[in-house]
């Protein structure tokens, strides 16, 4: 799979490519990342990528010509999707990340300034993506987040693919608590059930803890989830324990 990132600051991605899971995936040939300086697709001597908006507002807007040229030069004819990073986009979640992982090429356009010419959105973009309800100076950090989130769904990128299935949000629940050595630290002990050797009991405990955490922090996830009979039973138990306490 290949990510092609269009930006006026390609150097911002140096850290993403030089460490961690992404570096290993690129080294194995599982992932390819192309960085494209938007200024290379300008035709004037000043390499201008932005201009003042019509209507007299403050700030600058990214021009359509360089972005159209860049996408048309980079985009592959098949199994490709072109995305714009913008606060107005569809919120990035696990389902969207997994869908993007099904493409052979994902073109990411990093917005800047007051945004992009609307004709880019209307006639060039397949998907607008947001990583949250806040504004960044540009889309570069958001693009890095998209690459990281999507890459996890590419087979072989994460050492143990089973761990991806247990990630928060993939299952529709927040993750259960995790513990490691030492067994006791400053009087705080690891729950005894994890040493029981009873895998069924451990799985049940983990499910209950995941449901407890999701109910307390993100009840909206439970509202949109089709619960199993076991989950419904455990939720009723949790709610009953809350009332008693």
Indicate which residues carry an active-site annotation: 87, 114, 152, 167
152-184 b/e with 16+ CB inside 10 Å = b? Answer: bbbeebbeeeeebeeebbbbbbbbbeeeeeeee
Which residues have a Cβ under 8 Å from the Cβ of 68 and sit 6 or more positions away?
Answer: 120, 124
Q: Dig out the tokens for 198 from the structure.
A: 């009873």
In 3D, which of 2, 5, 48 has the Cα closest to residue 139? Answer: 5
Q: Are 235 and 241 in contact (CB under 8 A)?
A: no
Run of H or E including 233: helix 229-244
Q: Are 107 and 143 in contact (CB under 8 A)?
A: no
CA distance 236 to 233: 5
Q: Dig out the tokens for 140 from the structure.
A: 């570069």
């Amino acid at each position: 799979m290949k990510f092609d990132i269009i930006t006026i600051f390609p150097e911002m991605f140096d850290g993403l490519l030089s460490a961690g899971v992404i570096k290993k995936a690129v080294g194995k040939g599982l992932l390819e990342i192309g960085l494209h300086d938007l200024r290379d697709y300008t035709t004037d001597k000043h390499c201008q990528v932005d201009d003042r908006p019509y209507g007299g507002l403050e700030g600058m807007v990214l021009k359509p010509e360089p972005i159209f040229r860049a996408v048309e030069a980079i985009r592959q004819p098949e199994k490709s999707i072109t995305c714009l990073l913008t606060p107005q986009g569809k919120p990035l979640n696990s389902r969207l990340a997994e869908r993007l992982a099904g493409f052979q090429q994902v073109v990411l356009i990093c917005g800047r300034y007051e945004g992009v010419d609307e004709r880019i959105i209307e006639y060039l973009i397949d998907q607008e993506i947001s990583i949250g309800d806040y504004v960044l100076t540009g889309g570069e950090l958001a693009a890095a987040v998209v690459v990281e989130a999507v890459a996890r769904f590419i087979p072989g990128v994460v050492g143990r693919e089973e761990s991806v299935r247990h990630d928060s949000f993939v299952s529709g629940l927040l993750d259960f608590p995790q513990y490691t050595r030492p067994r006791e630290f400053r009087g705080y002990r690891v729950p005894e059930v994890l040493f029981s050797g009873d895998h069924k009991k451990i799985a049940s405990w983990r499910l209950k803890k995941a449901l407890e955490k999701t109910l307390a922090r993100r009840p909206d996830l439970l509202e949109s989830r089709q619960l199993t009979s076991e989950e419904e039973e455990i939720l009723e138990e949790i709610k009953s324990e809350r009332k008693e306490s």
